[in-house]
């Protein structure tokens, strides 16, 4: 590590740039000419980053004691009605978020100097060409952190193949087992097939999670699944598929932090409330039944603790009751 030279990273960035004009980086393939008008993700061609900071709320093997070096990239290929990051994922970007390749590289290096255990790109797909170019520049300057690719799991296999040898740890979601649910909650009708193909490709590239002697992630796949109120059957089917089609050794992060945010704040029905204890107990039972014993089970109280506010300088600072 790093597996690829800075020159090879630049070659990959160039190949990804070709997929951005017109834009085909995410599975929507909206064909927007983003130097003239935003794509479905509402992003221009210029890289937009809301904040880059140490984050101590990720999985233990990513946050450790010094935090993951998270780079919260603006925009998203999904339109999740409950998105906790909707302030940066589903709104037009602020002018202050614009970053040059040089500025991004310096932010990556700053995170390393601050002691972060890794460099984590959050929802990076729509700005991958500039991110890779910046990574090449930072590697030239000595950056030696593993790269974590934190995505919604709605990723094109063709794009992921250009990331082979670039990404050390994949951290995708596996949100849904039903396209009807995906359409209703995230605005896409092909999530299941796209997500499953993406996870299989990620597993092929990096395999099971491996840790260093401090217990920090160095390589591998961690699959996140957010348990949705009233949708435990969805969790059961996702867990069964992961065990059957990826591997019983895949690392799973079962998440209880659902909070009715964005469009579902105050809405009627199960998705208008936090997860109930009995629902989460049943989700854990589904994890056990699938014999997936690698990973983490989040505390149910996390629904309030990990609710960010990107209008603040410190988005994950505790909120006042």
Would you say residue 240 lies in a domain? yes
Joined tokens for residue 131 = 């991110």
Would you say residue 156 lies in a domain? yes
Residues 6+ apart with CB under 8 A from 121: 71, 73, 131, 147, 148, 149, 150
CATH of the domain at 131: 3.20.20.70
pLDDT at 303: 56
Q: Which secondary structure element, helix H or strand E, spans residue 112, and what is its range?
A: helix 101-113
Q: Which domain holds residue 16?
A: 6-305
Would you say residue 318 lies in a domain? no
User: For residue 122, which of 156, 141, 147, 144 has the smallest C-alpha distance?
Assistant: 147
Number of domains in the chain: 1
Mean pLDDT within 134-155: 98
pLDDT at 318: 61
pLDDT over threshold 80, residue 104: yes
pLDDT band for position 259 (50/70/90)?
very high
pLDDT at 306: 63
pLDDT at 302: 62
**DSSP summary character for residue 11:** H
Q: Where are the beta strands (DSSP E) in 145-213?
A: 147-151, 169-172, 210-211
Would you say residue 198 lies in a domain? yes
pLDDT over threshold 90, residue 320: no
Joined tokens for residue 127 = 């700005």
Token pair 């989700």 is found at 283
Using CA atoms, how far apart are residues 93 and 76, in angstroms rounded to an integer?
A: 11
Using CA atoms, how far apart are residues 151 and 169, in angstroms rounded to an integer?
A: 11
Using CA atoms, how far apart are residues 170 and 164, in angstroms rounded to an integer?
A: 11
pLDDT band for position 232 (50/70/90)?
very high
Would you say residue 1 lies in a domain? no
pLDDT over threshold 70, residue 319: no
pLDDT at 281: 97
pLDDT over threshold 90, residue 313: no
Would you say residue 58 lies in a domain? yes
Mean pLDDT within 143-156: 98
Percent of residues, the chain, with pLDDT higher than 70: 96
Would you say residue 13 lies in a domain? yes
pLDDT band for position 304 (50/70/90)?
low
């Amino acid at each position: 590590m790093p597996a690829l030279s800075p020159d090879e990273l630049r070659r990959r960035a160039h190949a990804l740039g070709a997929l951005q004009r017109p834009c085909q980086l995410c599975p929507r393939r909206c064909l927007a000419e983003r130097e003239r008008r935003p794509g479905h993700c509402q992003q221009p061609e210029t890289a937009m980053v809301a904040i880059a900071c140490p984050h101590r709320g990720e999985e233990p093997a990513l946050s450790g004691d010094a935090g993951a070096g998270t780079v919260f990239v603006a925009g998203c290929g999904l339109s999740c009605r409950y998105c906790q990051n909707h302030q940066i994922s589903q709104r037009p970007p602020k002018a202050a978020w614009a970053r040059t390749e040089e500025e991004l590289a310096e932010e990556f290096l700053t995170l390393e100097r601050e002691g972060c255990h890794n460099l984590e790109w959050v929802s990076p797909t729509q700005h991958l060409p500039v991110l890779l170019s910046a990574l090449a520049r930072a590697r030239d300057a000595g950056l030696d952190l593993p790269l974590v690719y934190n995505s919604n799991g709605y990723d094109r296999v063709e794009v992921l193949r250009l990331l082979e040898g670039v990404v050390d740890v994949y951290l995708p979601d596996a949100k849904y087992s039903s396209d009807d649910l995906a359409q209703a909650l995230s605005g896409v009708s092909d999530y299941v097939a796209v997500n499953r193909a993406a996870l299989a490709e990620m597993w092929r590239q990096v395999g099971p999670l491996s840790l260093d002697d401090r217990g920090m992630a160095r390589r591998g796949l961690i699959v996140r699944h957010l348990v949705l109120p009233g949708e435990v059957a969805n969790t059961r089917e996702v867990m069964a598929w992961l065990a059957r089609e990826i591997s019983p050794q895949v690392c799973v992060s079962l998440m209880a932090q659902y909070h009715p945010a964005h469009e579902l704040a105050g809405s009627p029905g199960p998705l208008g409330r936090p997860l109930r204890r009995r629902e989460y107990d049943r989700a854990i039972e589904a994890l056990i039944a699938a014999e997936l014993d690698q990973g983490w089970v989040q505390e149910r109280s996390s629904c309030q603790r990990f609710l960010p506010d990107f209008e603040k300088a410190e988005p994950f600072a505790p909120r006042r009751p």
